[in-house]
Chains A and B, each alone.
Chain A
């Protein structure tokens, strides 16, 4: 996304995206691969539906008792030696983190992938304070170098092909051009290793937070998340409050579902369970651990009709199967979270006024609901937001009048029949005026409508 693009420009963004052959090829290749990998990963899993039910029930319990679980987490994380901060909004979270870092003279920051940190736009605030913030997840490293934002919540540089990455590394790092992902990965390993070892602080997100032990849980593959959370003397974790799970004993269900849904792996290379900072006698862990719990609208969402979106565990499966996302990619959505879950979260978090074109970015085909590991009813949520859009006056007046008129016509067999005859009669005119585009894409009205062919 180039700076300045917003969710309000969704329609314009899609037009540009559809004209970008490199983007479309990258998206098609990536989302097809995701689909195959996910299906292969789940094929040998017995009792998948029961597993989804269990994970869904855990998330449902967390939402129904969220304040209690958050309080419990705060108490147990504090007992384990972490300093827990509560941030009501993005600006507060940014300021808390800036103060923690500045107070300890931290200048060089290494960062693991965190969508919540993208949501609050953390990096720009820290950079404005004179800090060097290096994204260390390979995908994030690539897009940070390019000055872009993530276009997928799991694979941030999904929109880029290997040649684009090779040229970027050659330009910025002064290395010989290569389009071999293995070679490019080694280049990043070398460049980032020194950053890890010399960093003053690490910033990470968290996939889950276990309320009863105050543990943070991170699912990672590259090892950068482990570096960020154990090598520098200071670790700051930022997560939104709905990431709670009651206990570590609830984790197996999510280990079985999240990596399979996200990347088609039976488990990620690393699952880190971090409980407090380094203690007496320990040789592992940051000396100081700060946990920033972000609300940023979650409590309000929880009280409303779209609360079920907070069950989401950020696997990205819904975007990989979404016909709209697959065609236009993540940047068109104009904010942090793309795809079906992104339509809902963006509208709720940034407000209908800032995002109403997004609620149309779905065919309501339900592919997202079929793959969601925790049974978030995405289609119902999107329909609910469409109703809200109309209610709050953001629907185009012409669209509204058109739908009202159609409603009247469709409710009357006589009017509907007249409409069908008119459509047939005017079809040659429409085709002549609309040209090849219309004739090629729009099916001609049937000579005898279906309802008159049925007994």
Chain B
């Protein structure tokens, strides 16, 4: 699969799972996408560790000290899987995977070169020595436990935005 197709398929499938999807080509576009996606007065948690996170961390007027008190988490995630429109969050490198779980809004930045075509490609790459926590995230938190009626936003985020860079 070509890089462009892989990115397109990933975003298409993520959108089917009710994620908001955005595609940008440089840091400038990333900043304006974040400006549109994140409410200006929300306390934002951004780890500020990866190069992309460092580039965006300073634009949020209200910074939360940690993810438990944040309304939004903005972070770069480990990668993605095109087949299912899935984000991969990993505990590798001291990342707190639950940062993308507790706040009501999760904004995930994905680098285009970090997309795997299929579930098989992804698990073949990580099966040797998996980190403590690998979480595949597809769309926002949901339930159908009452009359099988879909309700979005149970214990995890009620809103998931993906920005492909």
**A185 close to B151 (CB less than 8 A):** yes
Chain B CB count within 10 A is highest, among A33, A37, A158, A181, for A181
Is B73 on the interface with A (CB-CB < 8 A)?
A: no
Is A162 a contact partner of B147 (Cβ separation < 8 A)? yes
- Docked-complex contact A223 and B154, CB < 8 angstroms: yes
Q: Mark interface residues in A12-27 (1 if CB within 8 Å of B CB, else 0).
A: 0000000000000010
Write out the residue numbers on chain A whose beta carbons fall within 8 Å of the beta carbon of B4: none
Residues of A within 8 A of B51 (CB): none
How many residues on A have C-beta within 8 angstroms of the other chain's C-beta atoms?
Answer: 69
Note all chain B residues with C-beta closer than 8 A to A255: 84, 119
Chain B residues whose CB sits within 8 angstroms of the CB of A275 once the complex forms: 130-134
Interchain CB contact under 8 A, B151 and A269 = no
Which of chain A's residues have a CB closer than 8 A to the CB of B137? 269-270
What mask results when residues 133 to 170 of chain A are scored 1 for a CB within 8 Å of chain B, else 0? 00011110010000000000001111011100100000
Taking the complex as formed, is B118 at the interface, i.e. its CB lies under 8 A from any CB of chain A? yes
Known A136-B155, A273-B130, A284-B96; contact A33-B123, beta-carbon cutoff 8 A? no
Contact status A161-B156, CB under 8 Å = no
- B148 contacts partner chain A, Cβ-Cβ < 8 Å: yes
Residues of A within 8 A of B17 (CB): 266-267, 269
B153 CB within 8 Å of chain A: yes
Q: Are A184 and B146 in contact (CB under 8 A)?
A: yes
Query: Among residues 116 to 135 in chain B, which have CB atoms less than 8 Å away from a CB atom of chain A?
Result: 118-120, 123-124, 126-127, 129-135
Residues of A within 8 A of B153 (CB): 185-186, 189
Question: Which of B1-52 touch A at CB < 8 Å?
Answer: 13, 16-17
Bound-complex Cα distance A216 to B160 (A): 25
Question: Is the pair A267, B101 in contact by a Cβ cutoff of 8 Å?
Answer: no
Contact assessment for A155 and B123 in the assembled complex, using a CB-CB cutoff below 8 Å:
no
| Interface residue count on the B side (C-beta < 8 Å) | 48
Q: Interface-forming stretch among A56-64, A190-198, A397-405, A421-429?
A: A190-198
Write the nearest CB–CB distance from A291 to chain B, whole angstroms: 14
A272 contacts chain B at the CB level, 8 A cutoff? yes
Closest-by-CB residue of B relative to A218 is B135
Contact B101 A29 (CB under 8 A): no
A277 within 8 A of partner (CB): yes
Given A185-B153, A249-B124; A155-B145 close (CB under 8 Å): yes
A252 and B147 contact, CB distance less than 8 A: no
Quick one: CB contact mask for B139-154 with A, threshold 8 Å, 1 for yes?
A: 1111111111101111
A108–B70 alpha-carbon span in the complex (Å): 25
Whether A249 contacts B120 in the complex (CB less than 8 A), given A231-B98, A270-B135, A282-B132, comes out as yes
Cβ of A247 within 8 Å of any chain B Cβ, yes or no, is yes
Whether B134 pairs with A272 at a CB distance below 8 angstroms is yes
Within 8 A of B (CB), among A259-304: 263, 266-279, 281-285
Which residue on A lies nearest to B124, using beta carbons? A249
Contact across chains for A271 and B127 when beta carbons are under 8 A apart: no
Residues from chain B with Cβ under 8 Å of A158 in the complex? 148
- Interface CB pairs A-B, < 8 A, 12: A30-B148, A142-B145, A157-B146, A221-B141, A222-B156, A263-B144, A266-B13, A269-B138, A269-B141, A271-B136, A274-B133, A284-B95
Known: A138-B154, A196-B155, A275-B134. 6 other contacts (CB 8 A): A34-B148, A138-B143, A139-B145, A157-B145, A266-B84, A270-B137
